[in-house]
Amino acid sequence: MENLQELKSFLSQARDIIITTHRNPDGDAIGSSLGLYHYLEDRGHSVKIISPSEYPDFLAWMPEVEKIMIYDIEPEESEKAIQKAEIIFCLDFNALDRIDKVGEIIDKHNCLKVMIDHHLYPENFVDYIISDTTASSTCEMVFDFIVDLGHKHFLNHKIGDCLFTGILTDTGSFKYSTSAKLFRIVADLLDLGVDDYMLQDLIFNSMKEKQLRLLGHCLYNRMEILPEYGTGIIYLTKEDYSTYNIKRGDTEGIVNFLLKINGIKMAAFIMEQPTIVKISLRSKGDFSVQEIAKRHFKGGGHKNASGGASFQGLNATLKKFKELLPRYKSHLVKQI
């Protein structure tokens, strides 16, 4: 990032700071927000985290996660906090429409704004852009940000737990977007006292009975394999949401099971919700689902993990997705 020294100088005095992240926050969104929060609080700043919507239950153990303000629940308090801010950090998103009404408030507020994000095509709505599409996660970038400020010695166990969580979840337990640099960062986090076994257990072994039953339903009743296109699909209906009482975070990771099948290079998880059909895409190797999400479903994300939405209804969306597959067959089959 250019002008890092200017930002460092601004942060050399105690400031009122807001950290915000995208709607439906995942491990990287919450991990990076809390990691930066603890670093800034330790440096004497007054910091609040605002999330447009609630975080999933499997992150409820994280240090001081209960202090996160949820705009959907506390809109007036959230807006007051934003209006008071001298600087706003935007983490793990690259466009204001990813934070809905919070974005409208931030856009109108005249204060310093900083983006730290690893998604493609960042929009220029901030004063400082820290963008690295090769990074595994925003948590990796927050680590680099603290180090680049010359403050590596201020990293501690609490910050480490938060950053490790985001790295772990966004890489699928170190299966995607890894690098030698990332593993050196992970080694530094372990040196801080991060217990990787304990965190893996907290994050991945906290399922409720209904979630396991939902997974079984998805794999047995809602899975379709299209071997001629190297593609697998799982879908959920509105009735499924009612039957299994599906809440935020209950479907986390289900799409990845499709990629365990030999020969499957692209996985689609298509979910019928009250007013919208959401689409989650994953892929292996060089095949980019980001292009599909952006071009056909008004979404985006990463090369191997992207998402989008449709207003056409479940059956129409399934039909549209399947009709797209012949266009990409040569790329998908080439990799099988």
Q: What is the tens place of the pLDDT at every residue in 84-98?
A: 999 999 999 999 999
Q: What is the tens place of the pLDDT at every residue in 18-68?
A: 999 999 999 999 999 999 999 999 999 999 999 999 998 899 999 999 999
What phi and psi values does residue 122 have, to the nearest 5 degrees? -65, 140
Decide: helix, strand or coil at residue 194: coil
Written as tens digits, the pLDDT of the chain (336 aa) is 668 999 999 999 999 999 999 999 999 999 999 999 999 999 999 999 999 999 988 999 999 999 999 999 999 999 999 999 999 999 999 999 999 999 999 999 999 999 999 998 899 999 999 999 999 999 999 999 999 999 999 999 999 999 999 999 999 899 888 999 999 999 999 999 999 999 999 999 988 899 999 999 999 999 999 999 999 999 999 999 999 999 888 898 899 999 999 999 999 999 999 999 999 999 998 899 999 999 999 998 888 899 999 999 999 999 999 999 999 999 898 644
Using a cut of 0.95, tell me whether the model's pTM lies above it.
no
Q: By C-alpha distance, which of 111, 55, 53 is closest to 82? A: 111
CB 254 within 8 A of CB 272: no
Domains of the chain by start residue, with CATH: 4-204 (3.90.1640.10), 209-334 (3.10.310.30)
161 burial (CB, 10 Å; 0-12 / 13-18 / 19+) is buried
Amino acid at 23: R
Give the whole-angstrom CA distance, residue 143 versus residue 148. Answer: 9
